[in-house]
Structure 1
Amino acid sequence: MKQHSLTLYELNELVRETIEVSMPDEYWVEAELSDVNDRGHCYMELIQKDESSKTPIAKARAICWKTRWQYVRSHFESVTGQPLHAGLKVLLKVKATFHEAFGFSYNISDIDPTFTLGDMARRRQEIIRQLQEEGVFDLQKELVIPLFAQRIAVISSETAAGYGDFCSQLDNNEYGFVFHPTLFPAVMQGEQVEQSVISALNAINERVEDYDVVVIIRGGGATADMSGFDTLSLAENVANFPLPIITGIGHERDESVLDMISNTRVKTPTAAAAFLIDHLARVYARITGAQDVLLDLVSRRMEHKRMRLSHLAEKIPALFRLFRMRQESRLDILMRNFVSKAQGKLESQGWRISAREVSVSTLVGRLLEKRRQQIILLEEKLRLMDPRLMLRRGYSITLYNGRPVKDVKCLSSGDEIETRVANGMIKSIIK
């Protein structure tokens, strides 16, 4: 006997009625998003993977109608800080529906953002734990930003307002410092963030000697997609990078894994520029402080040398007088010794004195005259050696660093010299 057949529409209608009768309630369902298509209404592809093999074991379509989607999307993004995208785990409130023409799907009435936050937190903690086990979590923190960090490799979207703000802040800094930023364009939102930023890092690494630091920046507020900055592969690349990395990815709600692993984290691109400017300003302050200390030290040393030279100049006449007195005293002693010996000789040999009185008297006279002439010559030499006499004659002594200048080749433009004349001292600058 031939069985009664149904049309496809009749069968689908029967399925719809069966689902409506047997599953009239809404259900909270855990699933992973494999695709999200926002076209007014939001169409989603749901998937569940095996925990061990990660192969799909269940798939389904879901839709959130436009009138409900506006609220659901706004609430989810305000809580999680990012839009729905592929790869997120979500907790959906759905009702099973079947349409004769379009088939089976789930009608979404609500999404619990706290479930997604929990899953994101668990995934983030797992990445942090793995980085710590690998011993690379704090590698960036061990790098020191160079004193003169002016050659900057920038990873950002070329059209992002944040990149323009960053460059403008550097160019218009109040100190007049000159920075040299070089852009390495990258996708900073969506699923391509990870691979795009890694590619930019690889390009910088090929020219690593040309840069002092790397800055990763993006614009955007709390609703921007940040999931691309919470990946293990990107974190490992940043952690092992040879240059200090500064992040300013414009996310004020929570730190991303990229923020945690970087050398320095700031909130926005302009804050990253301000950090670099302040860093160079601190270095400049250290240099000017050291310059002041050095100038003060040199001034004190020069003053000490100047006082010592002045003291020696004052002692020169006294030294000449002392030398003359010592020579005259020596001559007096020699004369007394000579007279004494001569008298003794005369007394012991009186008879010979009488015989040679004339010759001895002549000899003594000549000797005395000779000694007197020696004294006169010594006095004249001493007088001629007196620097004050030379100065009074119009001569001068030129000193550089406390020493007489004997060759002009030892002087350079800008050197300070001292010229001592009879009644004072003149300071000059060599032009």
Structure 2
Amino acid sequence: MNKSYALSQLNKMVRDAIDMQLPDEYWVEAELSECREHNGHCYLELIEKDEHTNTPVARASAKCWRQTWLMVKPYFERTTGEPLRTGMKVLLKVYAQFHEAFGFSWIVTDIDPNYTLGDMARKRLEIIRQLKEEGVFDLQRELHIPLFAKRIAVISAEHAAGYGDFCRQLEDNEYGFRFEVTLFPAIMQGEQVEQSIIAALERIYALNTSFDVVVIIRGGGATADLSGFDTLALAENVAQFPLPVITGIGHERDESILDMVAHTRVKTPTAAAALLIDHLRQVLERINSAQQRISTAIFQRIANQKMRLTNLQTLLPALVQRNLAEARHRIEMLEVLLKSHDPQRLLSRGYSITLLNGRAVRDPQQLKAGDVLETRVEKGTIKSTVL
């Protein structure tokens, strides 16, 4: 009969073999298929995929115990600007551990954030390249914020401190501007960010004629959890949205892809509110300037007309006198001309005028017997009848 072993004995043999054959620590590249914290420890599921088919070719569990995790986690997040999350590629320093009761696991002693940064940068560059190839990367910059942008669609977590700050900033502006703010609630942290914001954009699109601009703001969440703003689908939706999109998602690191494709990027929700207030202030200044120019032009025209009237008042008497003198002269000339054509002057010189029915007779052939003629001379009139 073959010798049998208790399971604990067999597992101990496995542990001893692993301890003997894998006594060192190793750097391993892997993708996270699961990442969760419990009681201060971090539990990871590692996966390797075929680069051509994306099919898993290896899997393993890993653990980072509390004492190590308290040091590794903040350094990783501070360096990468991201928390460990599903889908992230990581470079882990591990050693092998086999426990008789809990089985095999890799124990994490360190994580290299620079490896993950490189992979994140590669993914970001790939998304940016694809957006540019699609011709949508700069579409938002071709839009213009309307002159009187007062109807604001806001995408934010409903009870976020940043949303409250944004609304208070708009309401308490020193110019007394009144804005109409409509909130479209969305999840602004974690793995659901992309789909939640896209869903909010779709609701706004259905009512896009009701708004002048869209503001995407985030405040009060973990500053490290910004991975949801670096996705292709979200960038495509924002880049092609028909209204100008302003982002204020509250972080100091390099721009997210969402920031890059937006019409305008500011750092915080209050800065987004200040931007909208300043936009209206500039419009008001333009209106006031135009009003001033119009008033100045009107006053100048009135002044010019007054000056013309004053000049006319001064020149009018002289012009009237000159016109009267010219009129008198014309009248005198006409009188002379009239006198020169007066028939009485001809009669006084011995001429006479023979009339028939009040019209001068120029041709005796026109007369017939019985016509009564009237001949005017200087001293009187002679009547005669044609025989």
TM class, shorter-length:
0.7 to 0.9
Q: Which whole-Å CA distance do the structure 1 matches of 2:338 and 2:6 have between them?
A: 161
Q: Secondary structure at the match of 1:52?
A: coil
Residues paired across the two proteins, number = 355
TM-score in terms of structure 1 length: 0.77
Q: Which whole-Å CA distance do the structure 1 matches of 2:147 and 2:345 have between them?
A: 90
Letter of the 2:264 partner, please give it.
Answer: T
Letter of the 1:258 partner, please give it.
Answer: L
| Contact 1:82-1:222 within 8 A present in 2 as well | no
Correspondence 1:219-368 to 2 at 5 A:
219-220=219-220, 223-318=223-318, 320-322=320-322, 324-337=324-337, 344-345=345-346, 348-349=349-350, 355=379
Bigger mean CA deviation after superposition, 236-245 or 317-326 = 317-326
Bigger mean CA deviation after superposition, 47-56 or 99-108 = 47-56
What does residue 145 of structure 1 align with? Answer: 145
Letter of the 1:218 partner, please give it.
Answer: R
Pair 1:237–1:329, CA change in 2 (3 A): same
Pair 1:310–1:49, CA change in 2 (3 A): same
What does residue 33 of structure 1 align with? Answer: 32
Residue 302 of structure 1: how far off its partner (Å): 2.1
Q: Which whole-Å CA distance do the structure 2 matches of 1:214 and 1:151 have between them?
A: 9
Residue 184 of structure 1: how far off its partner (Å): 0.7
| Contact 1:45-1:60 within 8 A present in 2 as well | yes
Pair 1:354–1:54, CA change in 2 (3 A): closer
| Contact 1:77-1:223 within 8 A present in 2 as well | no
Pair 1:43–1:354, CA change in 2 (3 A): closer
| Contact 1:78-1:223 within 8 A present in 2 as well | no
Q: Secondary structure at the match of 2:182?
A: strand
Pair 1:292–1:4, CA change in 2 (3 A): same
Letter of the 1:162 partner, please give it.
Answer: G
Q: Which whole-Å CA distance do the structure 1 matches of 2:334 and 2:137 have between them?
A: 94
Deviations 1:352-394 (A, max 9, x none): 98846xxxxxxxxxxxxxxxxxxxxxxxxxxxxxxxxxxxxxx
Give identity over the alignment, percent: 60
Residue 339 of structure 1: how far off its partner (Å): 5.7
What does residue 195 of structure 1 align with? Answer: 195
What does residue 111 of structure 1 align with? Answer: 111
Deviations 1:257-298 (A, max 9, x none): 111111111111111111111111111111111111111111
Pair 1:3–1:176, CA change in 2 (3 A): same
| Contact 1:149-1:212 within 8 A present in 2 as well | yes
What does residue 9 of structure 2 align with? Answer: 10
What does residue 184 of structure 2 align with? Answer: 184
Q: Which whole-Å CA distance do the structure 2 matches of 1:129 and 1:138 have between them?
A: 12
TM-score in terms of structure 2 length: 0.86
Letter of the 2:4 partner, please give it.
Answer: S
Residue 333 of structure 1: how far off its partner (Å): 3.7
Q: Which whole-Å CA distance do the structure 2 matches of 1:50 and 1:338 have between them?
A: 124
| Contact 1:33-1:47 within 8 A present in 2 as well | yes
Q: Which whole-Å CA distance do the structure 2 matches of 1:175 and 1:304 have between them?
A: 37
Pair 1:36–1:317, CA change in 2 (3 A): same
Q: Which whole-Å CA distance do the structure 2 matches of 1:335 and 1:121 have between them?
A: 108
Q: Can you give the 5+ residue segments of structure 2 that lack an aligned partner in the other structure? A: 353-375, 381-387
Deviations 1:40-67 (A, max 9, x none): 1111111111212222221111111111
Q: Which whole-Å CA distance do the structure 2 matches of 1:354 and 1:196 have between them?
A: 122
What does residue 170 of structure 1 align with? Answer: 170
Q: Which whole-Å CA distance do the structure 2 matches of 1:18 and 1:337 have between them?
A: 148
Q: Secondary structure at the match of 1:29?
A: strand
Deviations 1:106-160 (A, max 9, x none): 1111100001100000000111111111111111111111111111111111111
Residue 99 of structure 1: how far off its partner (Å): 0.8
Pair 1:341–1:38, CA change in 2 (3 A): closer
Letter of the 1:289 partner, please give it.
Answer: S
What does residue 362 of structure 1 align with? Answer: none
| Contact 1:145-1:244 within 8 A present in 2 as well | yes
Deviations 1:235-268 (A, max 9, x none): 1111111111111111211111111111111111
Q: Can you give the 5+ residue segments of structure 1 that lack an aligned partner in the other structure? A: 357-431
- Are residues 1:83 and 2:83 paired? yes
What does residue 364 of structure 1 align with? Answer: none
| Contact 2:27-2:92 within 8 A present in 1 as well | yes
Q: Secondary structure at the match of 1:54?
A: coil
Q: Which whole-Å CA distance do the structure 1 matches of 2:267 and 2:145 have between them?
A: 18
Q: Which whole-Å CA distance do the structure 2 matches of 1:109 and 1:121 have between them?
A: 25
Letter of the 1:36 partner, please give it.
Answer: C
Q: Which whole-Å CA distance do the structure 1 matches of 2:126 and 2:351 have between them?
A: 128
Q: Which whole-Å CA distance do the structure 1 matches of 2:157 and 2:335 have between them?
A: 105
What does residue 369 of structure 1 align with? Answer: none
Deviations 1:303-325 (A, max 9, x none): 22333344445555455545544
| Contact 1:221-1:251 within 8 A present in 2 as well | no
RMSD: 2.3
Deviations 1:5-56 (A, max 9, x none): 1111111111111111111101111111111111211111111112122222
Pair 1:245–1:338, CA change in 2 (3 A): closer
Q: Which whole-Å CA distance do the structure 1 matches of 2:298 and 2:378 have between them?
A: 76
| Contact 1:26-1:94 within 8 A present in 2 as well | yes
Q: Secondary structure at the match of 2:152?
A: strand
Q: Which whole-Å CA distance do the structure 1 matches of 2:244 and 2:72 have between them?
A: 40
Q: Which whole-Å CA distance do the structure 2 matches of 1:306 and 1:183 have between them?
A: 58
